Amino acid sequence: MRKVSLLLTVFVLFSASAAKAEMSCQDVVGSSICRSMDKITHSMQSYCTGDSCYALWQRQLDMMRQFTHNYENNVGFGTSMSLEMGSLAYSAADLICRVKSTGACEWMKALYYAKVDALYVLEEIQSNASLTNIRRCSLTYTCP
């Protein structure tokens, strides 16, 4: 009887420590991810015309690539996310899906691939936050 009790106690303690905690915007890694999503959202709300777009697009490319890289290197697959993180991911994905750009082919191609990679991560965050309405879209780019 004593052996069974000890084994059960060890199993319960191991199970509790193995359970993954939910990542939130207050965590070290989570706060970095949340700040990146917020920066993406704000950059997608900026409008430009002519040559000023190139600087904005470069900034958006850098932010989306940094966000994707940071997430893929610091967040484990299937990590549970807070509702706040899911909401931020939804907002960023919504703007990425809605904002359309036209310009030189090489810029449109670079933006397309950065957006596709960022959207993949944003969809994963929404899913891991248990959002029922996940923002996703199909992107295209055309060259003039």
Cβ neighbours of residue 9 under 8 Å, at least 6 residues apart?
none
State if pTM tops 0.85: no
Q: What is the pLDDT of residue 11?
A: 37
Q: What is the pLDDT of residue 3?
A: 55
**Dist. CA 96–CA 67, nearest whole Å:** 13
- Give the residue ranges of the chain where pLDDT is below 70: 1-20, 144
Q: What is the pLDDT of residue 77?
A: 87
Q: What is the pLDDT of residue 61?
A: 97
Q: What is the pLDDT of residue 52?
A: 85
**Minimal CA–CA distance to 79: which of 16, 130, 136, 133?**
130
Q: What is the pLDDT of residue 20?
A: 62
